[in-house]
Chain A
């Protein structure tokens, strides 16, 4: 039988791997990919808690559903910003983005 802790341990490790990538990468797209890992881990948690602790309800599932949609929207805007920054500056490393005026 798959216990709830197995899911939680896997999503915890994935969450912190994502945070490590978020801290240590310089490329903005790589940072965004790390962010996707973090959000994915959180969404697994919502679904798992819903299924195991409240199997008759659907709130966790809907939270995951809306979370997926919001993540997609956020990614689209972030990538638009990254492409805009690339047009202005010529590369997308975070330390070159110190000046963001106008």
Chain B
């Protein structure tokens, strides 16, 4: 694809992501909020495709969009009454929050935009820098330097603990 089309698609994705983020935290209905979250996560998968992390995009779609959002939807169905109106904090809290995030955005934008990033011509722009699946698998399953068997196993223990903990917390007494 030509760089211009790439840029246009990227900007569309980014703008959609920001608008959907605002809508996800501003909407009254929780179910809508979860739907916007789903679209945000799919846009993020699009970003990973732009960066040529195809495996990451697949994981993002299957784990986040497939798993986490479904969990959210079920939890919303289980905990929301039919005609429930949104309870708001008082206005002062919104003011504090707005002041806090505006100063945070100003600080971060200053740091991000002031710095010169040293990257010469980037291979990911040419579209030939996809990491082969074999390399990912070897890094995930090896025990050497820059290989990740131990975190992988720790993560599987964490997931087991999560399953057991979730069952214990949510079970009927």
A and B: bona fide binding partners: yes
Residues of A within 8 A of B (CB): 1-10, 12-21, 23-27, 29-30, 32-34, 36-37, 40, 43-44, 47-48, 51-53, 55, 57-59, 61-62, 64-66, 68-73, 75-77, 79-84, 86, 91-93
Find chain B residues with CB under 8 A from A4 CB. Answer: 117, 119
- Once bound together, how far apart are the Cα atoms of A54 and B31, in whole Å? 39
Instruction: Specify which chain A residues have a CB less than 8 angstroms from the CB of B133 in the assembled complex.
Output: none
The chain B residue sitting closest to A8, CB to CB, is B112
Q: How distant is the Cα of A45 from the Cα of B165 in the complex, in angstroms? A: 30
The majority secondary structure among interface residues of chain A is helix
How far is B55's CA from A86's CA once the two chains are assembled, in angstroms? 37
Residues of B in contact with A, size category: 35 or more
CB distance A14 to B17 under 8 Å?
A: yes
B51 to A29, Cβ gap below 8 A? no
Interface residues of B (CB under 8 A from A): 3, 6-7, 10-11, 14, 17-18, 21-22, 24-25, 30, 33-34, 37, 40-41, 44, 47-48, 50-53, 55-56, 59-60, 63-64, 67-68, 71-72, 74-76, 78-79, 81, 84, 86-89, 93-94, 96-98, 100-101, 104-105, 108-109, 112-113, 117-119, 122-125, 129, 131, 135-136, 139-140, 146, 148, 151, 155, 158-159, 162-163, 165-167, 169-170
Q: Which residue of B lies closest to A10 (CB)?
A: B14
Specify which of A27, A44, A76, A86 is in contact with B44 (CB 8 Å cutoff).
Answer: A44
Could you tell me if B68 and A72 are in contact, using CB atoms closer than 8 angstroms? yes
